[in-house]
Structure formats: structure tokens, C-alpha cells
Structure 1
Amino acid sequence: YVSVGFGFALVVAAWLFFRVTGALFNPNIATALLAIGVIGPLRWLLLVVAQLVGAVCATAVVQGLMPGQLQLTTVPSLGINKAQALFIEMFATTFLTFAVLMLGVEKHRTTPFAPIGVGITLFVCELWSIPLTGGAINTARAFGPAVLTGFDASHWIYWAGPTMGALLAAAVYVFAKRHRYWTLVPDQDSVDSEKSPTVPSLPLAHLSRVRPRSGTVGPRGQEDRNRQSGSAAPPRLNLDI
């Protein structure tokens, strides 16, 4: 339920702000964009500050609207050590950041639908990371609740892990770009039907073009088959009166 909520919320929010601010709600993804040169240091700083402040304000709003004490702080689950939590957060953020880079940063025919793909990616990442680490995959997501409820000793994981994951995704993206990944499967996003593969010839297609041999059909079939086998056709009876 929580994973579905995260995924759909990101789809809606990203689609609303996709053409306004780029829908950057994650300081780690902003760091990846800084690393590949899409944004400059000043914009990165402003984005990160806005995201962290927004996370604190959002936490305060949620706590004010919902009854009772909410457990919003992300901490590793029992049985998950700090190293495991670090790499879980790292790899989950890698997948999410790479989805943003390939669907939103790279411009192609499906770029306007990037919020859907990114939202689904977040849903999948949250689905397996929430039971293990709380599924922050976003430093701001961990920072906002921690400001109001207190910082846990493992809070550093949610700074280091997502940042490492975002930088790893940026490195993979640069590697793919430098090796011209689009040449591996050219015209993959083309809508030109002429670029579709041709239908291969069927092994038995030539049989439909072969004319039937004489004697295989028709009223003389039995006579022709007997002639080919060397036997005479049976005599016909004269029934004329």
C-alpha cells in the first residue's frame, strides 16, 4: 500500500511540475544532474535547500493533519546491519536515478511520459526496500522527519547511500552515452512503419504456388494414376440400349 502510494504520488507530482522545474524532488538526483553537467552548482544548491526545507514542511503538515503519533523516521529494520542498509539504499537510488536520466533527461518520443516510468520505478524500488530500510531512496525523505522526531544513529546511511547510488547511475549514464548506446538498436523509438522488420518467408510457402499434377484431381484421376503405375484402366461398360 505504501509503495503504491509513493509511486502514484510521484507520477502526479512529476507530471504537474515536469515542464516547470523538471520535477526534481530528490537532492540525490539533483546531484547526479550536477555530476553530468545538466545543472550548475548554484542551481544545484538552490534545489537541494528547497528540497530539504520542503521535506521538513511536508512532515509538519502530515503530523498536524493526521491523528496520533506517526512513525515517519526511516531506520534499518531488525536484522539489517548498517552495511546492508547502505547498499540497499544505494542500489535502489541507482535504479531510480537511472530511470530519470534515461526517460527524462534523454530526449526521445516517450520523454513526455517520463513521469509514468519514473513513478513505476519508484514503486518497484519501494516495494522491496521499505521492509528493509524504510525505503527513503531520497535524502530529503529521511531528513524531514528526522528534524521533527529526532536523528537516529543510522541517519548518515540515508545521506551516503542515496548519494552513492545517484553518482553510480550518473557514471553508467555517461558510459552509455560515450559508447553511443543508441546505435545498438537503431530506430528503436521510430514510428515509421517502413522501419519495421519484413515478414520472413515461410518454409512451406512455395507449396501454395505449385500447380497440381495431372491426374491428382478430376474425373480422370483414377485412370492417370493407373497409367503412371503401369496398370491399365478398368474397361468401361457400354450401357447404351
Structure 2
Amino acid sequence: MSDNNNNNNRDVVMSVTNDEDESDTKVTVPLLQKMVAEAVGTFFLIFAGCGSLVMNLNNDKVVTLAGIATVWGLLVMVLIYSLGHISGAHFNPAVTIALASINRFPWNQVPAYIFSQVLGSTLASGALRLLFTGKDNQFPGTVPSVTHVQALVIEFIITFFLMFVISGVATDNRAIGELAGLAVGSTILLNVLVAGPLTGASMNPARSLGPAIVHSEYRGIWVYLVSPIVGAVAGAWTYNFVRYTKKPVREIIKSASFFKGSK
């Protein structure tokens, strides 16, 4: 595989071009496009993901935990493949801040990304509330069913795991770029299965903040604002520490049984 192909694959998710060397005129339009992509992507993520929660509560839990986890995982995978080449497919303030902390994303674009993500989440939550009224109006946000300390630790661990995987497939040019969406989506699915009944498996401040704003329900919201950010930064820095190796790319690929037989 050529170096150009490696670079293109690595840019499928979570990595965006640093426009610091460009003039202000050239930066404005691309950044606006990235903001729109982040807002639209986050809207669909929350609308469908939280929508599955509402449908589950309104229909005798017919969707089930496994179904909800699958919805979130597939959503993330599809959105990465459809918008990753435009904005990097963050859809999560914790991911944006973590990537910026390891110099994989420009700090001057962080506020714009966070604004777009929270806006998309809030609009999606508002749309769900308009569609499901009366007795069908369910709160699709995240409230801990355990103590706040337990929720803090759980959210830290699952977000650490998520960001560690993201860092592996998005910031390391030895990774197989075509599998990035599948890897990240699968991680989301696993985390929801494990932590969903305990904390709602947020891993995303925007995911928790949007429904909280629309429903004026802020119980334990600080857990979902603090823990995912700290967990994501820790995950990014941990992978950044272990990523270095002197092995050539072909040796790494051959040693991974999953890729044996591939050309």
C-alpha cells in the first residue's frame, strides 16, 4: 500500500486538516462545513439513538438493551463513514478536546466543534420531545442508577476505552483505515451493553447535555460533563505513549492473525 493510501485511510475518522497555515478567508468556509457536518451528524446520532430509548420505554421494552446497543454502534459506524472525511466525525466534545490535547486537532477550532455538537444534540432532543408528547414523552437522557462516584468511575473507564480505540485507528498510520468505523462502532456497542443499565453509557457530554436542556433534568449532569472528558484525554495520552515501535508496517500486519491472507 502506498504512502498516499495510508494517509487517506488514516483520515477516514477523527482526524482533520490543520488549517493554521491558511489565510482567514480560506479557513472560514471549510470550518463552516465542518461545523455543519458535526451538527448534522450529532443530530442524527442523538435522534436515532435516543429515539430507540424512547421507543423501548413506550413499547414494553421491545427494543431491549442489545437492540439499543446495536443502534448506537451502527449509528456511529455509519456516520464515521459518511462524514469522517469532512469533519473527522467527532460528534463528541470529549473526543475533540482529547485530540486537541495530543496536537491532533487545532485548539482554535475546539469551541466551534463543541458548539455544533451541543446544538445538534439539543435540536435532536427537541425534535423527539415534539414527536413524543403526553404519556409517550420520555426522558432519553442519562441519569446514574448507581452512586455518583460509581458513575464517575464507570464513565471514565468506558470513555477511556473508546478514546484508546479511536486513537489507535485514527492517529496511527499503521492502522487499517477501512476498519476504523467498524472498530469505533463496535466499541460503542460493547460499552452500552456493559454500562448502559448503570449510567446510560454516555461517553459524550453533548449526548447527555442535549436531553438535559430540553427536559430541564440535570440530576448528576456534572458526572457526564467531567468524567468523559477526563477519560478521553487519559485514553488519548495513554495510546500516544504506547504507540511507538520500530517494527515495519508489513511485519505488524503479518503478525496480526486477523489480517493473515490479506493482500
Partner letter of residue 188 of structure 1? I
Distance 1:182 1:122, change over 3 A: farther
Note the 1:83-98 alignment, pairs <5 A: 83-98=149-164
Structure with greater helix percent: 2
Residue aligned with 1:55, SS: helix
Q: Look up the match of 2:123.
A: 57
Q: Distance in 2 between matches of 1:108 and 1:34?
A: 21
Unaligned runs of 5+ residues in structure 2 are 1-66
Q: Distance in 2 between matches of 1:44 and 1:152?
A: 24
| 1:14 corresponds to 2:80 | yes
**Looking at CA atoms only, which structure, 1 or 2, has the larger radius of gyration?**
1
Q: RMSD across aligned C-alpha pairs, in angstroms?
A: 2.0
Q: Look up the match of 1:125.
A: 191
| 1:76 corresponds to 2:140 | no
Q: Look up the match of 1:45.
A: 111
TM-score under structure 2 length normalisation: 0.67
Distance 1:182 1:17, change over 3 A: farther
Note the 1:1-241 alignment, pairs <5 A: 1-66=67-132, 68-77=136-145, 80-108=146-174, 110-177=176-243, 180-181=244-245, 183=247, 187-189=251-253
- Report deviation, 1:147: 0.4
- Report deviation, 1:13: 0.9
Q: Distance in 2 between matches of 1:149 and 1:182?
A: 52
TM-score under structure 1 length normalisation: 0.73
Q: Which runs of 4+ in 1 moved over 6 A?
A: none
Distance 1:53 1:20, change over 3 A: same
Unaligned runs of 5+ residues in structure 1 are 197-241
Distance 1:184 1:86, change over 3 A: farther
Number of positions where the alignment pairs a residue of Structure 1 with one of Structure 2: 188
Identity %: 27
